[in-house]
Amino acid sequence: MTAYKLVIGLEVHSQLLTQTKLFSGCINRFNPDAPNTQTDPVTIGLPGTLPVMNRKAFHLAVRTAMALNCEIARHTKWDRKQYFYPDLPKGYQISQYDLPFSNNGYLEVESDLTDDLKRVRIT
């Protein structure tokens, strides 16, 4: 019988405590009573507009990466992930694939089953 090694992957999302959106100066509060009011030319993807990353969000993300023992990249880039959803007027989402700003982190977790310290890899 062949021995198998179980590998479990998780995708974790978080919300950073910032006043504005990640790539826009718009306030990031949800307002169901007034839809489509927290927008600007960047948010709706008007031609000629360029996103600028929220400085506070960047600093919070770097702090998180450091807490998770990640390597911080010297160079990074953003990618356009194409989607065609009715609630995404731009038709794309900004993501990181090839050159994320941090990677190769880990989180040490104590196990109740053994006295060993387990290391969870973060990529």
Dihedral angle computed from the Cα positions of residues 14, 109, 11 and 61, in that order, rounded to the nearest 10 degrees: 40
Type of residue found at 82: Q
Q: Cα 53 to chain center, whole Å?
A: 12
> How many Cβ atoms sit within 10 Å of the Cβ of residue 46?
11
Residue 89 confidence (pLDDT): 78
- The domain locations on the chain are 17-122
Closest CA to 15 of 50, 72, 64: 64
Q: What is the pLDDT of residues 19-61, one digit of tens each?
A: 999 999 999 888 889 888 888 999 888 999 999 999 999 999 9
